[in-house]
Structure 1
Amino acid sequence: MRKGGKRMRRTKRFQIKAAAAVIAAALLAGGCAGAESGAESPTKVEETTTAAKAEPAAPESPEGVPEQQGQNGSERAGEPVNGYQLISDYGVTAPGDLQAYELPDGLRPAVEENQVRAELLTAVYINGEFRFRLRIEDRSVTMLTPEEVKAVQEEAESAAAQDGTAAPDDSYVEIDRDKGLYGRSAYEERLRAEEPGGGGTLSVRLTGDGVAEGGYTPNRSSSTRQYVESGEGGYLLTVGEYAMQGKPLRAEQPEGTYELLVPGFQEAIRFTLEPAPVYESLLEIPGMQEAGDYLIWTAGSRRGEQVEVQYFLLPGQWEEDYRYSFLDSKLDYTRDGITESCGHSILSAQTRLNEPLSGIPPYRMTVQQTFAGPKAQEGGNYTLSLRDLLLTSPERSDEITLTIPQDVEQLDQDIEFEDSTIRLLKIERGDEPELYTIDDGVDVMRPVVYIEVQVTDRDPDRHLINLQGRKQASEPYIAEVRPNVERTEKSYRSSRVMGLTVFYDEGDTEVRFSLENPQYVEDLELELPVLMEE
């Protein structure tokens, strides 16, 4: 796994002073899906995500790179470029990747009708794939009366009494169940009327030059939905990402104006695409900074009363397959020598498909966070503080086969990873079935075995805090091997994997599974100036 170069040691409050000579070479290797953790969201978050497929391999890097900094890319969509492309909201491509096209810098086209605004955050085309990120701000939500709230609660109790067999009522928005606050969206009511049975979900459609007749629709999507309190009474926020994969343009490159049709709107979002800029070196990318054995890129923008910040971290070549994020982040604002804290991230739900954009391995993908903005509206500087580096390995063990005991049996088996060893100590048959999943509101129970483990960290700078397990024939979206993690403090650094819960079917005599994606935390702190969009 590790392929040379030195490892960063434990560091406190590192402030971007050292060199990072091995970073560029690391960009030419692939990676695995990214992860991101942030502060708790202030309201309930509903998330819908599709499954991901394997990432296509990136082309090899050519020998030459362009002489001009930040030049426009190739005019042909099917040709590689000789430099690094920074793609808004997604990250950086390596030399040799295909030309990417994106929205003109700083533009976020939008439409607004009947108290609802649809804003196109990102539009990208590369290697026959379109990717869009769409923000829906719905201010058509009205609060339910006490009588309506009572009816909602009684209906929920009635559905529970029927063992969850009643169809769920999705006609209202749960704002705060503990406080009995519910609302109803006029916009989502229109969506249901337009597409009965659609549940108020979005299915966008793309039309324009080079697009096949009838337009393109997504074959993968992911969305988050939550109610956001604000000084204007709050709004329902839905952020969705839509991938139209394997749908190349019938032209050499994007041309003319495209339209993204959003359900519930009479007017389409109109936009154009232009070649992403190409840079000779990583440090020529605006916002890129050196931090010891890493390069890290940061950028931010103001959105009303909030500040949006993006970052991604590029590792040294010695572990180019890992994916990286930070467990804790906060933002400070300084003006005229006075520093004001913007606090921790207030919107931590990330809308990401569980796969990278073509040409961008996940460790090169951006992490996006939203903070409460300072009182001042102009001038000043922002500093992003990041703490506790989270590393997720793509490793996967060989298949493990264990006999299901009548009661308890001792084990003595080691599972070796690059930075840790998992020793299986004991397997015990569960006395009662456990909740496996919920199918149409009905609890599905299955028998389990419990496996006690002992973890040994092989690297003094890293501590294993979690991992995943998988059966060869696992059902989609259902974890059949679940780690038992204990935490002695609020910090994730105190997390310890104590065992595994493995589900099986009645009649099975053995369980077969593998362990994968061990997660580690390093004690690392960074303070980074944020390049703000003008």
Structure 2
Amino acid sequence: MGEKVREGILISWYVYSEAGETPISIAYKPPSLDMDLPTISGNGKQYAIRELSANPYWDNLGHYRLSDVRQYGRRTRCLFDVPQEEQDGSFQINIPGITFLNREESAPVTLPIPEDREGLNELIPWQDGSVRILGIARLKEPRPAETGGERDEVKAVGRPEVYINVTAVHEDRDLTLKGLLCQRKLSRGGWEREQYDFDGKGNLSGFHIYYDEGDTEVTLKFHGAAFYWNQPYVMRLDGAEMASVPVFWEHPL
């Protein structure tokens, strides 16, 4: 739905999966990630998202129900920088893609610790995409890690680690990996969360994984996968009222 306001054009979109199991979202304010954001175009121009220091229209993501949206639909509101004198006429929303959010936890996977580097083809599946582990490398120079010392002092100590490269894969969709949590099984019991890396385009590219001296393998599990589908879509907003219409995200432009 579109609404003309003093600061621009305010768009509300309601996104849901017909299966009702996997949350999906159209991200417009990704934290510290370099990704294409939605725009709107009209009057021969393209307008970007506008962020105000005190936005009277901002609200949290929440669950809302319309007559044509299932109860698990999610609303997002976004303000576009369209001056009042340019708000007449028709506009279209240009959406570069959507994100599939997965809560399921993967089965544990055990990887041998190599002497140097070893290429892998380990597939970790979810409903909406898979994560492929491309390789594992033993790092020669251990990075400092914080640990508790005497009287709760924090000390930096060197711990051995390996690095794994990961990517998102799917038979039919052009996916990138925007989020994933990795945990390592500890020999004393329990799990330790490992540190992730992003590339220059904001895609999650790998994990730094600590291990204990004498270990020959690491056992990992993953959860919180966020797959971004590079699937452009255009929705038209016609007329002064900019009435809402349902759009089914199945076909490319």
Q: TM-score range by the shorter chain?
A: 0.5 to 0.7
Contact 2:8 2:80 in 1 (8 A): yes
Q: Give the Cα–Cα distance (whole angstroms) in 1 for the partners of residues 120 and 173 of structure 2.
A: 29
Q: Is the 8 A contact 1:389 1:523 kept in 2?
A: yes
What's 1:32 paired with? none
Which residue identity is paired with 1:347?
E
Confirm or deny: 8 A CA contact 2:162 2:209 kept in the other structure. yes
Give the aligned partner of residue 515 of structure 1: 222
Deviations 1:452-489 (A, max 9, x none): 3465422x2342343402317677xxx624255465xx
Deviations 1:149-172 (A, max 9, x none): xxxxxxxxxxxxxxxxxxxxxxxx
Contact 1:470-1:513 within 8 A present in 2 as well: yes
The reply to whether residue 452 of structure 1 matches residue 165 of structure 2 is yes
Q: Which runs of 5+ in 1 are unaligned?
A: 1-297, 334-338
Tell me the alpha carbon deviations over residues 381-432 of structure 1, each in whole angstroms, 9 at most, x when there is no partner.
4524132222314143212233444533454533223354444343212233
Q: 1:436 to 1:314 in 2, by over 3 A?
A: farther
Are 1:529 and 2:241 an aligned pair?
no
1:310 maps to what in 2?
12
The equivalent position to 2:108 in structure 1, one of 399, 419, 430, is 399
Change (3 A) 1:387 1:375: same
Tell me if 1:468 matches 2:169. Answer: no
Once the two structures are superposed, the pairs formed by residues 233-244 of structure 1 within 5 Å of their partners are none
Q: CA RMSD in A?
A: 4.3
Q: 1:390 to 1:522 in 2, by over 3 A?
A: same
The answer to whether the 8 Å contact 1:457/1:464 transfers is: no
CA contact under 8 A between 1:340 and 1:374: conserved in structure 2?
no
Aligned partners of 1:468 and 1:481 also within 8 Å: no
- The one-letter amino acid paired with 2:206 is L
Residue aligning to 2:196: 482
Identity percentage over the alignment? 18
Structure 1 residue 329 corresponds to structure 2 residue 38: yes
Seen in structure 2, the aligned counterparts of structure 1 residues 388 and 455 have a Cα distance that, compared at 3 Å, is: same
Cα deviation, residue 312, structure 1: 1.8
Q: Is residue 2–residue 9 contact of structure 2 (8 Å, CA) maintained in 1?
A: no
SS of the residue aligned with 1:385?
strand
Seen in structure 2, the aligned counterparts of structure 1 residues 508 and 305 have a Cα distance that, compared at 3 Å, is farther
Secondary structure class of the residue paired with 1:513:
strand
| 2:207 paired residue number | 501
1:307–1:432 CA distance, 2 compared to 1 (3 A): farther
The CA distance in 1 between the partners of 2:41 and 2:119, in whole Å, is 53
Mapped contact 2:117–2:138 kept (Cα < 8 A)? yes
State the distance in 2 between where 1:523 and 1:321 align: 18
Q: Tell me, in whole angstroms, the C-alpha distance in 1 between the residues paired with 2:76 and 2:125.
A: 30
- Deviation of 1:519 after TM superposition, in Å, equals 0.5
2:47 to 307, 327, 343: 343
Describe the SS at the equivalent of 1:328.
coil
Q: Distance in 2 between matches of 1:418 and 1:427?
A: 25
Contact 1:331 1:343 (8 Å CA) reproduced: yes
Structure 2 residue aligned with 1:385 = 93
Larger Rg, first or second structure (1 or 2): 1
Tell me, in whole angstroms, the C-alpha distance in 1 between the residues paired with 2:95 and 2:166.
Answer: 29
Are residue 414 (structure 1) and residue 120 (structure 2) matched?
no
User: When the two structures are aligned, how many residues end up with a matched partner?
Assistant: 210
- TM-score between both structures, scaled by the size of structure 2: 0.60
Equivalent residues in 2 for 1:68-107, closer than 5 Å: none
Partner SS state of residue 392, structure 1: strand
In 2, Cα distance between equivalents of 1:436 and 1:367: 39
Separation in structure 2 between the aligned mates of residue 403 and residue 348 of structure 1, nearest angstrom: 50
Amino acid at match of 1:513: L
Look up the SS of the partner of 2:97 in the other structure.
strand
Which amino acid in structure 2 is aligned with residue 427 of structure 1?
I
Per-residue CA deviations over 1:15-40 (Å, capped at 9, x if unaligned) read xxxxxxxxxxxxxxxxxxxxxxxxxx
Change (3 A) 1:448 1:306: farther
Select the structure that is richer in helix.
1
Please say if residues 15 and 24 of structure 2, whose CA atoms lie closer than 8 Å, have aligned partners that are also in contact.
no
Give me the whole-angstrom Cα distance separating, in 1, the residues matched to 2:71 and 2:160.
Answer: 36
Pairing of 1:53-72 with structure 2 (within 5 A): none
CA distance in structure 2 between the partners assigned to 1:407 and 1:464 by the alignment: 27
Kindly report which structure 2 residues correspond to 1:5-84, keeping only aligned pairs within 5 A, or say none. Answer: none
Q: Report Cα offsets for 1:239-287 as digits up to 9, x if no partner.
A: xxxxxxxxxxxxxxxxxxxxxxxxxxxxxxxxxxxxxxxxxxxxxxxxx
Paired residue secondary structure (1:500): strand
**Normalization by structure 1: what TM-score?**
0.32
Partner of 2:83: 374
The answer to whether the 8 Å contact 2:99/2:228 transfers is yes
